[in-house]
Amino acid sequence: MSKLVAPHGGKGLVICKLEGAARDAELKKAAGLKKIEISSQVKGDLIMLGIGGFSPLNGFMTKADWKGVCADFLLADGTFWPVPVMLDASKAEADAIKVGDEIALERKGEVFATMKITEKFAMTEDEKKWECEKVYKGHGEESKDEVFFEKAMKDHPGVQMVMARKDFCLAGPVKVLSEGEFPTKFKGVYLTPAETRAVFDQRGWANVAALQLRNPMHRSHEILAKIAIDVCDGVLIHSLIGNLKPGDIPADVRIECIDALIKGYFVPENILNAGYPLDMRYAGPREALLHATFRQNYGVNRMIIGRDHAGVGDFYTLFEAQTIFDTIPTPAAPGKALLCQPLKIDWTFYCFKCDGMASLRHCPHGKEDRVVLSGTKLRHALSNNQEVVDHFGREEVLVILRKYYASLTEKVEVKLQSHAEGSKM
């Protein structure tokens, strides 16, 4: 019998993907349905719905769900959920669809799902702004009332995506028909919740931590994983393999870096390298909660939360993604509360005087003795052909990253936020 944490929502893994003859029949039916072209973010959300990663969700949110999630972190039925999962549609598309209809959801010619419409509703500009204020606004310098929207519309990709949504939303359950390119492009790394749970059970793990990665794995990530290994049965290094913002490093390069690190610096039996198909939302603290919520479905009960988790620019304070876990509602009904808890770890860095990796909690030395580590700082140095400071990353990883940057014909400017520069250390 499994010793792992139960999936979120109290319903087991809610898997919306069809297989075999049922999938074939639904694909045939989809050919005759009205079609909506979906965004990359919706594609990732659909795949997570298909594989049970978004359990207990079985489709896109109603307006009551949307409002409850934005305002109170709760679905309409009282289940904890931190970030809206929405399907947008143009006015013309919405006008052509009525409640009760079935539609096909496609991207670039591939049908990803069918959906039964249970509700359609307008999403005004003011409502989109309200969502941005509730979900994406933090307590950092760029989130101050007088500058937030001006800064966010220029520099916050999550806010930009919300404000670019079409003017209507459609709600209803889905039948997922494809996992896209992920099973083949990332074979052996792209794993479903059922698959990670099977690995954990086979290894006898009960207490599992997850390390979220969207940047190449540097020395700070390495020590975070090793701290978690010391206090848990094992660690899932879980990389985002969906879309990122321009200037971020693609998934195949990051996975190659992780493989090199595991081979050289970890006991492989204590770690699992895997990926998941979402696009980043860059929602900072709210996204940290989303990461914990769907990691629970993967069998994880501890989410490593370090400095500026899932942040962008200076919209969030250093440890806002840790403290938000202390303020969320805890529904009393069985299965409705978040069971995956944060493993809060302080700012880590290399200290020359300590002669090793250290954190603010136990290193007494000054900023001048420390190598400040951040994915943004690493990308900034490499994209500008600058030397990477000693002890920032393992040489095996830097070789892979230098080769990648040397292959680029166009480079995106990487903006250094104050966190990355260590100005608040």
**Alpha carbon distance 28, 186 (integer Å):** 28
Domain ranges of the chain: 20-123+165-178, 183-421
Residue 95: partners with Cβ closer than 8 Å, 6 or more residues away: none
**Alpha carbon distance 339, 335 (integer Å):** 8
CATH 3.90.320.10 holds for 183-421: no
User: What's the pLDDT at 159?
Assistant: 97
Answer whether 0.85 is exceeded by the pTM. yes
179 phi/psi in degrees, rounded to 5: -105, 15
Write out the catalytic residue numbers. Answer: 214-215
- Each residue's pLDDT expressed in tens, for the chain with a length of 425 residues: 899 999 999 999 999 999 999 999 999 999 999 999 999 999 999 999 999 999 999 999 999 999 999 999 999 999 999 999 999 999 999 999 999 999 999 999 999 999 999 999 999 999 999 999 999 999 999 999 999 999 999 999 999 999 999 999 999 999 999 999 999 999 999 999 999 999 999 999 999 999 998 877 888 889 999 999 999 999 999 999 998 777 788 899 999 999 999 999 999 999 999 999 999 999 999 999 999 999 999 999 999 998 889 889 899 999 999 999 999 999 999 999 999 999 999 988 999 999 999 999 999 999 999 987 666 777 777 777 777 877 878 999 999 988 998 888 776 555 555 554 555 55
Q: Is 52 left (phi over 0), alpha (psi -120 to 50) or beta?
A: left
Task: Please state which CATH number belongs to domain 20-123+165-178.
Answer: 3.10.400.10
- Measuring CA to CA, how many Å separate 407 from each of 356, 357, 410? 33, 31, 9
SS3 218: coil
